[in-house]
Amino acid sequence: MKILICCNVYPPNFIGGAELIAHQQALALTKLGHEVQIFTGDTQVAGERYSYHEELYENLKVHRVRLINIDYDPNYICFSHQEVEKYFIQLSRKFCPDIIHFHNIIGLSVTILRIAKELNIKTILTLHDYWGFCLKNTMMKREKITCGDYSRCEECQSVINDGMNRHIPIRLRQNYFKLMIDQVDFFISPSQFLAEMYLAAGINKERMNIIWNGIDFDYFDAIKKKSHNNIVRFSFFGYFGRHKGVATLIDALLYLKNQHCVQINLIGDGDEKLSYIDQLNKNNCANLVKFWGKLNNNQVYKAYAETDVLVLPSIWRENQPVSITEAMTAGIPPIVSNMGGMPEIVEDGKTGLIFEAGSSQDLAEKMDFLIDHPELRQTYGRAAKEKMRNNTFENQARKLLALYKSDPPTYYKSINSCTLILCVGHCFDSKCSTALKLLPYYLDYNSSPLLVMADWVTEQQYKQATLIWIVDPKISINDIQKFFWLELPFLVPEENKNLVNLCCVGKFGLYYNDEHEAAACIRYFLREKIK
Say if CB 444 and CB 521 are below 8 A apart.
no
**How many beta carbons lie within 10 A of that of residue 218, not counting itself?**
9
| pLDDT tens, N- to C-terminus, the chain (531 residues) | 999 999 999 998 876 788 889 999 999 999 999 999 999 999 888 889 999 999 999 999 999 999 998 899 888 888 999 999 999 999 999 999 999 999 999 999 999 999 999 999 999 999 998 888 888 888 877 766 777 777 788 888 888 876 667 789 999 999 999 999 999 999 999 999 999 999 988 888 999 999 999 999 999 999 988 877 789 999 999 999 889 999 999 999 999 999 999 999 999 998 899 999 999 999 999 999 999 998 877 788 899 999 999 999 999 899 899 999 999 999 999 999 999 999 999 999 999 999 999 999 999 999 999 999 999 999 999 999 999 999 999 999 999 999 999 998 875 545 555 789 999 998 899 999 999 999 988 887 666 899 999 999 999 999 999 999 999 999 998 989 889 888 899 999 999 888 888 777 666 888 899 999 999 999 998 887 644
Calculate the alpha carbon distances from 369 to 63, 256, 352, 355 in Å.
49, 10, 11, 12
Cβ(385)–Cβ(328) below 8 Å: yes
Q: Which of 165, 37, 13 is nearest to 98 (CA)?
A: 37
Which of 312, 345, 313, 336 has its CA nearest to residue 192?
Answer: 345
190 prior amide bond cis, ω within 30: no
How many Cβ atoms sit within 10 Å of the Cβ of residue 46? 8
Burial of 453 (0-12, 13-18, 19+ CB in 10 A): buried
Do residues 452 and 422 lie in contact, with contact meaning Cβ atoms separated by under 8 Å?
Answer: yes
What's the first-to-final CA gap in the chain, in angstroms? 47
Q: Which among 344, 337, 381, 345 has a CA at the least distance from the CA of 363?
A: 337
Burial per residue of 137-166, b for 16 or more beta-carbon CB atoms within 10 angstroms, e otherwise: bbbbeeeeebbeebeebeeeeebbebeeeb
Q: Indicate the residue type of 99.
A: I
